[in-house]
Structure 1
Amino acid sequence: MNQRSLFCDVGLAERIERVERDLIEISARAAHRRTGDGRGFVIPVAGGLASFAADDSPFNKVVGLGFGGVPTAKELTEIEDAYAGCGAPVQVELPHLADPEIGMLLTDRGYRLESFENVLGIAIEDRYDATAPDGIVIRPSGDDEFESWLEVMADAVATPDTQGVAWREEFPRDVYLAAERDAAAADIARYVAIRDDSIAGGAGLRTAEGIAQFAGAGTAPAHRRHGIQSALLSARLADAAAAGCDVGVITTQPASKSQQNAQRSGFDLLYTRAVLVKHPPSHRG
């Protein structure tokens, strides 16, 4: 089957960013319930939101900007003060298809461009062959083995992708595990790959507004290069098609092995997010 190319216009980018915004909000609110310390916040801003979930959380960011107007100086000051009150930088993930005035505004306020990340997408076909290679079984993963799924995913993250541009964020294992537990509140379907009678890999899938978010995938080091990632992808594509999704998305670092693998699997580069950061006044960097 020839995979049709996917073109990303502003409307599609807005839909993808809106779904990402909702995922971050749900996960952040789950973190607030978990910690119960009253420090977290979710602040709506110009169609997006500013989120502080917990100390060092990957959900501490401003997302979804660019398609709902330009933030006012008052709104940005409120957000910057909120992050400063938590001793955290303001990290804005701004799509290159967003209103360009926002980038200029943030630069004028002292934000610094620190990195990029790529959003890749695939036009989901009507059906997929989800047959796994011999010796591998892909199946849904229930709450009864959530902890085992988490450990496999954490082990995979501990051996990072070293190809391409280095990832600017690295999270300790306990922070990663807490974030995955928080993200479970966003109705992410979990999958495991079984090989040699053990959990060899795992992955996640979230569907909303016709968008299938491929929410991470990992293979334990001892089971790599046996087709597990491809099998997990095929299973999730089949389920995304069955759920009526028309677009699948994945986020990678530029020129990374993950991006290379996604493009080999039929994903197209849709757009890039610029990561713009403003540190609190007391930060020494």
Structure 2
Amino acid sequence: MLLTTLSTAQRLEEADILHLTRQVEACSKFFPDQKSQIISVGNGAAGITLPVFGRKLNHIVSYGMAGPVSTEDLAKAEEWYTEIGVDFTEIDLCPHADASAIQVLNSRGYSVNGFINQYARALTDEDLEEAEVPGMTILRLPADRAHEFPAMSLAGYKDNGRLPLLLETLGRIAVFREDTSLYFAMVDGKVAGSAGMALIKTSKGGVAHMYIDSTLPEYRGRGIQAALLKARMADARKAGYDLASVGARPQNGSSRNIERAGFSLAYAKTTFVKVHK
């Protein structure tokens, strides 16, 4: 069982900064006419991309994790979001953040908009053994097939109500990133699901971050996500990583699959939002 110390939380939150930073850097390449950038806010990072991408690529992570924060700092971030046409500022706040973070959020009129479960798992050599599912194989996507990933990822998300441009862009970002390995789950020679894993090196140690999982609707309920998680954990351990992470909204199917794969709830982040008037 993983015990979440302050050091572990800082390690996971630093990985979140690097994860968001690399997503935004990719957006700056894909959409050069837009001002996609990362801004330092409260010792964390504010992602600023296309307004149509909403909170997925326009939010603040790791706020207050390195000490006290200021009202002026956050007010400036709100101005940045307003200037680019994002009508809100959202912060995913770790419960290990400095106490001043809550005080500043209250003073600026923020309210709670939801929660995100941050899961983690200590990796051991036992994770080198992958799950064997009859009729299913896991394909580590070679470079010459990476171009297939965005379309298959989009197909797995097609009924979740998100903007297709955002979903396609997230897939393209995963292909673009040098730290990310891509996976297909194959059933009867057809792609049934897809996923990515970023091997992120932080100042406190490496984090194997599992993300962009999706399963095509006709293959759901067949252990696709579990098999993809096991394959990525095995590869992370082979690469020398001893900590894996993944985020999910509480009480959804992904959370249940993640917990069944042996991940523990490290902490729940509270999403604070302020709508700009």
Q: Given the two structures, how large is their TM-score scaled by the length of structure 2?
A: 0.90
Structure 1 partner of 2:30: 34
Structure 2 partner of 1:180: 171
The structure with the greater share of residues assigned to helix is 2
Structure 2 partner of 1:69: 67
Q: Distance in 2 between matches of 1:215 and 1:59?
A: 14
Structure 2 partner of 1:150: 150
The amino acid across from 2:215 in the alignment is T
List gaps (5 residues or longer) in structure 1: 161-169
Q: Distance in 2 between matches of 1:75 and 1:37?
A: 26
Aligned residues: 268
Structure 2 partner of 1:166: none
| Percent of paired sites with the same residue | 26
Structure 1 partner of 2:188: 196
Superposed structure 1 runs of 4+ greater than 4 Å apart: none
Q: Distance in 2 between matches of 1:112 and 1:185?
A: 35
Q: Which moved more, 1:90-99 or 1:183-192?
A: 183-192
Structure 1 partner of 2:116: 117
Q: Which moved more, 1:94-103 or 1:115-124?
A: 94-103
1:214 shift after superposition: 0.7
Q: Distance in 2 between matches of 1:173 and 1:188?
A: 22
1:276 shift after superposition: 0.8
1:173 shift after superposition: 1.2
Change (3 A) 1:67 1:137: same
1:52/1:83 contact within 8 Å kept: yes
Q: Distance in 2 between matches of 1:280 and 1:256?
A: 30
Structure 1 partner of 2:83: 85
Local SS of the residue matching 2:51:
coil
Q: Which moved more, 1:79-88 or 1:139-148?
A: 139-148
Q: Distance in 2 between matches of 1:232 and 1:42?
A: 30
1:253 shift after superposition: 0.8
Q: Which moved more, 1:174-183 or 1:117-126?
A: 174-183
After TM superposition, list the pairs within 5 Å mapping 1:229-248 onto structure 2: 229-248=225-244
Q: Distance in 1 between matches of 2:234 and 2:125?
A: 8
The amino acid across from 2:182 in the alignment is R
Structure 2 partner of 1:105: 104
Q: Deviations over 1:158-215 (max 9, x none)?
A: 344xxxxxxxxx5211221113313444321101111111111111111123211011
Local SS of the residue matching 1:235:
helix
Q: Given the two structures, how large is their TM-score scaled by the length of structure 1?
A: 0.88
Change (3 A) 1:15 1:251: same
Paired residue for 2:263, among 267, 272, 276? 267
1:32/1:40 contact within 8 Å kept: yes
Local SS of the residue matching 1:56:
helix
List gaps (5 residues or longer) in structure 2: none
Q: Which moved more, 1:98-107 or 1:145-154?
A: 145-154
The amino acid across from 2:118 in the alignment is V
